Structure 1
Amino acid sequence: MSKLPHIGTSIFTVMSQLAHEHGAINLSQGFPNFPVDERLTTIVARLAQENIHQYAPMAGYPPLLEKIVQLTQDSYNRAVSPKTEVLVTAGATEGIFATVQALVRSGEEVVILDPSYDCYETPILLCGAKPVHISLNDDFTPNWENISRAVNSATRMLIINNPHNPTGKIWTATDFEFLEKLVASYPNLIILSDEVYEYITFEKKHISVHHRPKLWERSISVSSFGKSFHITGWKVGYLIAPEPLMQEIKKVHQFLVFSVNSVAQIAISDYLDIVNVNELGKFYQEKRDFFRALMQPCPLELLPCEGTYFQLASYEKISKENDLDFTRRLVTEFGVAAIPLSPFYHHKPDLKLIRFCFAKDEETLKEAAKRLQKL
């Protein structure tokens, strides 16, 4: 008997396979198709010849832990301990899984804000807890009235994602004020803050749990070098959490993966000496603006994009199809793959919205936009 009977192949895998079968341009799955920084590949080539191919320490390569501490200090003016409050993970997904498994008990509840990434619910179900899905507002801002109504004494965790995938929305200071009041009202409540797109923001700057001292003792932040440095295949991320919570997370992490790829950790550690994360927002904003300009003649209506490398679009004026059927037809008839929005929701609403990834080279974006103009 399946422990996850309702879970099948993810929509990301489905759409990428469909794109491959039909030779379509893949703007569905969230990974870049342009080259990695040559400075990083040069570091990897050098390190491959060195004696660094055995297990790294369980919590992470010590110099990398120190670099993460410095990055957090520089980015958010927050001091954390490299020995007790930082953990290098096998991507953000492993970090999220280990956190939920370590901190959520059977019978407890975890609030998820929809639309949400599909890796949140599975670890909740596997530890016998109850996922409670609350929809964001129509403009994808948090509905604090509904969130407050959903949280109770049985709620162990609230998962937030900011900057938000799939909508590109960024939380405001007011949102964090509501969150702080909620945490103060429920002593058992902890926050899992998925911030993998933290350095990919545009006109509005990212506000992190690291900016909010009132949340530090009750929050676990999730970051991703894979997303930040467009090396998604490396699967290297990290968590920051207060020592009592981190101790429990490490117990799960050590038996889930034990430690993360040693070469990748050392390469990233060296790369952090020469890369400027503050340039990432500008880099992706140029891609966003380029893609939006290309799409102007297209009948799709583009929604605001404040961060991430995803662009939502409405096809409501074009078709009455549901989003699954529409995205399939996009692939088979127009040769472009996108992601439907409904799979990001528990109740699968028919919003006539789809998501494109614009983390692609200019030629790919030009050809995709050319094909989409035929809609």
Structure 2
Amino acid sequence: MNSQLFKIKKSHIRDFHEKVKKTENVLDFTLGDSNDHVNDEIKEAAIQSLENNETHYSESQGLYELRDMLRLKEMYYDVQEICITSGATQGLFEVMMALLKKGDGLLIGIPAYPSYISLCTLFELDLQTFVFDDEFQISESSIRAVIQENTKAILINHPHNPSGSALDRKSIQTLHRLSKEYDLLLIWDATYFECSSYLSLYCLLLHEKIIQIHSFSKSSLMCGFRVGYVCAPQNKINEIIKVHQLIQSCLPVFTQKSALEALHHPSMNYDEQKTYIIQRLQNMGVKVVKTQGPYYVFFSIEDFHISSEVFADRLLEEVHVAVLPGKYFYYENHIRMSCCIDLVKCKEGCDRLEAFVRRL
């Protein structure tokens, strides 16, 4: 058995969500999986594909017509520089396995999505962490302080999970400057990028250094379809495809046809719910940064003098509202709250949360 697996724990997020599912009358703000359903035309594309008996292998790299549409969308990538993956999760796995080797240093910002840390452990990379500033933007000095001789890449999630922030121009320019100065790959997890309009991390002058990992899960509500894609310069996508062919011959054609249809529809966002939650938290006197990204609110519980796990457990048990502890994202004294819930339930959840907070 791979001894590295003994160093990795099962997902705390998934374990907590299993507990949530066993709670009656719960209002669930844990996962980034909307209560809304995927567009009917996207579902119909999958059904029609199956009706047409498109049940055979596609090109390993993904359907040409899908990659060609993505080429038009991504602009600076050729159709051969795109690989269709089973969501961003598989894309990230393949990128890290293909482009980094044992002992390479990987820079990751804290708070961080937990699988980033687990993948570093699995691939025996040298995890090098920096902390985002108080607005969840990039502090150049904090990154410079941890860069070492073996540092090979920066993994950045923009827009960011769990903070719900979107990087500003200064942060992006800092990343570009450091990537160029230290000859670092810039691995961009763009899972939430299509949810609205944000500044791109792409820079034409750094084309050979930038790897993009995208997903249809959030913007098109296609979490269960498991479709994503990787964009990378030709010499790097060639190596990524080698890993891809070992893991999965290809994605099912019907899910790829659904993704193709999704490109013709507007993205989903939950800006109204996010604005509402932030306003309610501010009215409660809870410290919260008004971030510009989608899906998540990340608020401080430092003033309550209890751990994030205790806060989340008590909130679930006492008022049946489910949120995630900041500890799961390596950032104690904070709570992540997903916004992808309908506004009526969102208001009820905030009412319950306020009642709970008033008792602390």
Same fold (TM over 0.5): yes
For 1:124, the equivalent position in structure 2 comes to: 120
Whole-Å separation in 2 of the counterparts to 1:294 and 1:67:
41
Equivalent position amino acid for 1:356 in 2? M
Deviations 1:50-76 (A, max 9, x none): 111122211011110011111223xxx
In 2 relative to 1, CA 323–332 (structure 1 residues): closer, same or farther, beyond 3 Å?
same
Q: Where in structure 1 do 4 or more consecutive aligned residues deviate above 6 Å?
A: none
- Out of 250-259 and 115-124, give the one that drifted further: 115-124
Matched, 1:207 2:195: no
What one-letter code is carried by the residue in structure 1 that aligns with 2:321? V
Range moving further from structure 2, 11-20 or 55-64: 11-20
Q: Is the 8 A contact 2:60 2:245 kept in 1?
A: yes
Amino acid at match of 1:315: I
| Matches of 1:233 and 1:140, distance apart in 2 | 29
Cα deviations across residues 6-26 of structure 1 (Å, max 9, x unaligned)? 422212112211211222221
User: Are 2:8 and 2:121, in contact at CA under 8 Å, matched by a contact in 1?
Assistant: no
Q: Is the 8 A contact 1:19 1:331 kept in 2?
A: yes
Q: Deviations along 1:81-125, whole A, 9 cap, x unmatched? A: 102x10111110110010010011112111111111112123332
**Aligned residue in 2 for 1:180:** 176
Q: Which residue of 1 aligns with 2:100?
A: 104
Report SS of the residue matched to 2:107. strand
Would you say 1:340 and 2:321 are equivalent positions?
Answer: no
User: Which of 309, 319, 322 is equivalent to 1:324?
Assistant: 309
Task: For 1:331, give the aligned amino acid.
Answer: L
- 2:132, 2:235 → 1: CA distance? 31
Query: Matches of 1:38 and 1:286 in 2, distance apart?
Result: 23
Pairing partner for 1:287 from 254, 269, 273: 273
Q: 2:137, 2:353 → 1: CA distance? A: 29
Question: What is the SS of the residue equivalent to 1:247?
Answer: helix
Deviation for aligned residue 1:294? 5.5
Identity %: 25
Report how far residue 173 of structure 1 moved. 1.9
Task: Say which SS state the counterpart of residue 36 (structure 1) adopts.
Answer: coil
User: What's the Cα RMSD here?
Assistant: 1.9
In structure 2, what is the Cα distance between the partners aligned to 1:181 and 1:70?
27
- The amino acid across from 2:297 in the alignment is Q
Alignment partners' CA distance in 1, 2:149 and 2:279: 49
Residue 270 and residue 100 in structure 1: after superposition, are their counterparts in 2 closer, same or farther (change >3 A)?
A: same
* Alignment counterpart, residue 207 of structure 2, candidates 197, 216, 219: 216
Contact 2:104 2:125 in 1 (8 A): yes
Q: 2:252, 2:265 → 1: CA distance?
A: 21
**CA shift for structure 1 position 129:** 1.9
1:368 to 340, 344, 349: 349
Partner residue in 1 for 2:8: 7
AA in 1 matched with 2:305: K
In structure 2, stretches of 5+ residues that fail to align are none
Question: Residue 56 of structure 1 contacts residue 259 of structure 1 at CA under 8 Å; is this kept in 2?
Answer: yes
Letter in 2 for 1:107: G
Q: How many residues are paired up?
A: 354
Q: Secondary structure at the match of 1:122?
A: helix
1:61 pairs with 2:63: yes
Which letter does structure 1 place at the counterpart of 2:42? L
CA distance in 2, matches of 1:6, 1:143: 30
User: How big is the shift at 1:135?
Assistant: 1.4
For residue 28 of structure 1, report the CA deviation from its aligned partner: 0.8
Q: Contact (CA 8 Å) 2:278, 2:290: kept in 1 or not?
A: no
Partner of 1:16: 17
Distance 1:367 1:174 in 2: 38
Is 1:237 the counterpart of 2:251? The answer is no
Going from structure 1 to structure 2, the CA distance change for 1:102 and 1:342 (only over 3 Å counts) comes to same
Cα distance in 1 between the residues matched to 2:14 and 2:144: 34
Contact 2:113 2:329 in 1 (8 A): yes
Determine if contact 1:298/1:369 at 8 Å carries over to the other structure: no
Task: Look up the match of 1:76.
Answer: none
TM-fit CA distance, 1:127: 2.5
